[in-house]
Amino acid sequence: MPSSTIENYLKAILVRSGREEGMVATGVIAEALTVTPGTATTMVKGMASQGLVEYHPHAGVKLTNRGRALALAVLRKHRLIETFLVQVLKMDWAEVHEEAEALEHAISDRVLARLDALLGHPATDPHGDPIPSQKHPRLETKAAATLATCPLAKPMRVARITDQTPTFLEFVQQTGLKPGAKVQVKTRDPASGVVQCELGAGKETALGLAVAGKIEVEAG
């Protein structure tokens, strides 16, 4: 079994490889894991020797089929644990990431299966991130609309929050734009960079374009 450090690298590469699952620069990996670029480079070279990644100097790193399977398994554990902590233990969704980071390396597949069943086999975690299934482990393949790109005056539902820093999640909670919330974009002004949104019960909120681009929505 890979070490917890290797699992962290695999997950970081998977999450940052995008929907096309392309190359990820070692600098991006280093930033994600708060290590030096030299440390990240040394680590991915070792992972390449184990057949977990393809390493291309000056280009980046790409998961092999074996590495991708392991990364999806770790990501599945992480997102199911976050869901358990929020739904069952009633923890704040802005606080569960660090707890899941620790628990994902210790939980067995047997316990994970029980958690999945207890939760009703959820398709997404509390932030709207897709949970890879056990039978068909994969991530989403289609691009999603955001509050910065969706049609105006059309009923939408918040599907996912892509910025999961505690500060941003607290902001989302305060505005009421958590996954599942109904919302319409009334106006979008590229010149001022302001997106005016209407939520249920006549509540309105104004967002910057950059912020709006971190909130994925779907027709609803």
Q: CB neighbours (10 Å) of residue 57? A: 8
Mean pLDDT for all residues in the chain: 92
* pLDDT tens for each residue of 135-163: 766 666 566 899 999 999 999 999 999 99
* pLDDT tens for each residue of 156-208: 999 999 999 999 999 999 999 999 999 999 999 999 999 999 997 779 999 99
* pLDDT tens for each residue of 2-15: 899 999 999 999 99
pTM of model > 0.85:
yes
pLDDT at 1 over 80: no
CA distances from 202 to 89, 111, 186, 205 (A): 32, 44, 12, 10
Residue that terminates a domain, selected from 81, 116, 141: 141
Residue that terminates a domain, selected from 141, 168, 195: 141
Rounded-to-integer distance, Cα 151 and Cα 185, Å: 7
Residue that terminates a domain, selected from 141, 166, 201: 141
Range of the domain at 35: 1-141
Name the phi and psi angles at 52, rounded to 5: -90, -30
Residue 149 and residue 130 in one domain: no
Band of the pLDDT at 121, cuts 50, 70, 90?
very high
Question: Total domain count for the chain?
Answer: 2
CATH at 153 = 2.30.30.90
Rounded-to-integer distance, Cα 145 and Cα 148, Å: 8
Residue 101 and residue 4 in one domain: yes
Least confident of 62-71, 102-111, 128-137, 138-147: 138-147
Output DSSP code: residue 28.
H
Residue 149 and residue 124 in one domain: no
